[in-house]
């Protein structure tokens, strides 16, 4: 992960000068890491934090949607949630920063759940800690600490249902229309979130404080709940409209918004903008990751979440 930096080990006394030196060291390490990984990404990460530049890049695109779509894995919920056209969905994301209202076909959901049960996942995304989800308690016992998350690393790529979603014409059209460029698949993840006590550092590490992700001049991220998610299962939360309306100071610090206390951001942008996404297994939603958002910590039951991110340009590195 690009967001973790070692502290300067020989400086253990916390004075303002030491803190300044540590911050500067972290900043330089970060710049060098990005420069080494992909200089284009470094340049993008400086520029794409500003809304005007993001919108300018999107407007330069000339994506033309196809007239007809093939079969889609998205399931129309009869009478409750009509399947809106990709153009309508893209407009709603443009207005609000997100759209809630997809539903996976039951057969796709079932296949993903079977995959999750029969494929090892990895405690705290650590490749050296594989376990089957049914053995979660045993793994936590062996580690001597409650598990926060477990991911399948890149193994979800071998699941046919995942491939169907990744190549779904409807989802690709939504992504392309929002980006105004042909959508490029960047990455995806299938991961569990578990009920466990979280420190603030844990929450920052697992994206459970308000933040934005800048992985391209514009990206779009689809999410699917594969288990029922109510208030107690760590629902996703968006802060409506913050992809288009954001204080200049918050644009300037980019992903540094994650260091601002949640409550301060809520006070700044208004409690009425907070949108908590709850729903039954199979519910899908999509958002611009630049819109302030967070996952929350499950308190009652575990949550299995699938996510896929699309952008305009593929880079060799990314923020997670
Ligand atoms: Fe995020």
How confident is the model over 164-209, as pLDDT tens digits?
Answer: 999 999 999 999 999 999 999 999 999 999 998 888 888 888 889 9
In what order do the strands lie in the sheet containing 293-295?
A: 274-277, 236-239, 293-295
Answer whether residue 237 is part of any domain.
yes
**DSSP output for 24-91:** HHHHHHHHHHHHHH-HHHHHHHHHTTSHHHHHHHHHT------SS----SB--BTTTB----HHHHHH
Answer whether residue 305 is part of any domain.
yes
Q: Which residues pair with 100 in a beta bridge?
A: 285
Whether 87 and 154 map to the same domain: the answer is yes
Whether 25 and 164 map to the same domain: the answer is no
How much distance in Å is there from the Cα of 78 to the middle of ligand 1?
Answer: 31
Answer whether residue 231 is part of any domain.
yes
How much distance in Å is there from the Cα of 238 to the middle of ligand 1?
Answer: 10
Whether 281 and 136 map to the same domain: the answer is yes
How confident is the model over 32-56, as pLDDT tens digits?
Answer: 888 888 899 999 999 999 999 999 9
How much distance in Å is there from the Cα of 109 to the middle of ligand 1?
Answer: 23
Average pLDDT over every residue of 13-37: 82
How confident is the model over 172-183, as pLDDT tens digits?
Answer: 999 999 999 999
Whether 28 and 53 map to the same domain: the answer is no
How much distance in Å is there from the Cα of 67 to the middle of ligand 1?
Answer: 32
Answer whether residue 10 is part of any domain.
no
Measure Cα distances from 251 to 113, 214, 270 in Å: 39, 11, 17
The pLDDT assigned to 33 comes to: 84
Whether 34 and 97 map to the same domain: the answer is no
Answer whether residue 11 is part of any domain.
no
How much distance in Å is there from the Cα of 259 to the middle of ligand 1?
Answer: 14
Distance of CA 176 to the CA centre of its chain: 18
Please tell me the total count of domains within the chain: 2
Whether 31 and 141 map to the same domain: the answer is no
How much distance in Å is there from the Cα of 104 to the middle of ligand 1?
Answer: 22
As a whole number of angstroms, the distance between CA 281 and CA 304 comes to 9
Range of the domain at 24: 16-41
Answer whether residue 30 is part of any domain.
yes
Answer whether residue 316 is part of any domain.
no
How much distance in Å is there from the Cα of 284 to the middle of ligand 1?
Answer: 16
Answer whether residue 52 is part of any domain.
yes
How much distance in Å is there from the Cα of 207 to the middle of ligand 1?
Answer: 6
As a whole number of angstroms, the distance between CA 212 and CA 233 comes to 22
Whether 93 and 36 map to the same domain: the answer is no
The pLDDT assigned to 198 comes to: 83
CATH number at residue 278: 2.60.120.620
How much distance in Å is there from the Cα of 116 to the middle of ligand 1?
Answer: 22
CB 315 within 8 A of CB 215: yes
How much distance in Å is there from the Cα of 293 to the middle of ligand 1?
Answer: 6
Average pLDDT over every residue of 236-251: 97
Global pTM value: 0.88
CB 103 within 8 A of CB 75: yes
The pLDDT assigned to 3 comes to: 42
Residue 79 has pLDDT above 70, yes or no: no
Whether 163 and 237 map to the same domain: the answer is yes
């Amino acid at each position: 992960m690009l967001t973790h930096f070692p502290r300067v080990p020989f400086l253990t006394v916390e004075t303002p000068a030491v803190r300044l030196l540590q911050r500067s060291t972290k900043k330089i390490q970060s710049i060098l890491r990005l420069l080494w990984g992909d200089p284009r990404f470094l340049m993008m990460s400086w520029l794409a934090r500003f809304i005007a530049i993001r919108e300018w890049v999107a407007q330069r695109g000339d994506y033309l949607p196809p007239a007809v779509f093939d079969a889609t894995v998205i399931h129309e919920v009869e009478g409750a949630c009509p399947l809106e056209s990709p153009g309508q969905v893209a407009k709603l994301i443009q207005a609000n920063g997100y759209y809630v209202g997809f539903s996976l076909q039951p057969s796709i959901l079932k296949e993903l759940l079977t995959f999750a049960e029969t494929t090892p996942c990895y405690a705290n995304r650590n490749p050296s800690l594989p376990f089957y989800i049914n053995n979660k308690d045993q793994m936590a016992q062996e580690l001597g600490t409650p598990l926060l998350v477990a991911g399948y690393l890149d193994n979800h790529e071998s699941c046919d249902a995942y491939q169907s979603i990744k190549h779904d014409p409807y989802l690709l059209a939504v992504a392309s229309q929002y980006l105004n460029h042909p959508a490029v698949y960047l990455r995806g993840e299938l991961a569990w979130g578990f009920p466990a006590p979280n420190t603030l550092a844990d929450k920052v590490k697992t994206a459970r404080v308000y933040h934005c992700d800048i992985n391209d001049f514009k990206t779009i991220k689809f999410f699917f709940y594969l288990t029922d998610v109510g208030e107690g299962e760590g629902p996703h939360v968006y802060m409506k409209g913050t992809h288009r309306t954001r204080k200049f100071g918050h644009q300037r610090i980019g992903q540094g918004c994650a260091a601002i206390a949640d409550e301060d951001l809520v006070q700044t942008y208004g409690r009425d903008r907070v949108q908590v996404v709850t729903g039954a297994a199979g519910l899908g939603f999509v958002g611009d990751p630049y819109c302030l958002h967070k996952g929350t910590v499950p308190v009652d039951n575990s949550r299995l979440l699938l996510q896929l991110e699309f952008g305009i340009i593929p880079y060799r590195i990314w923020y997670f």
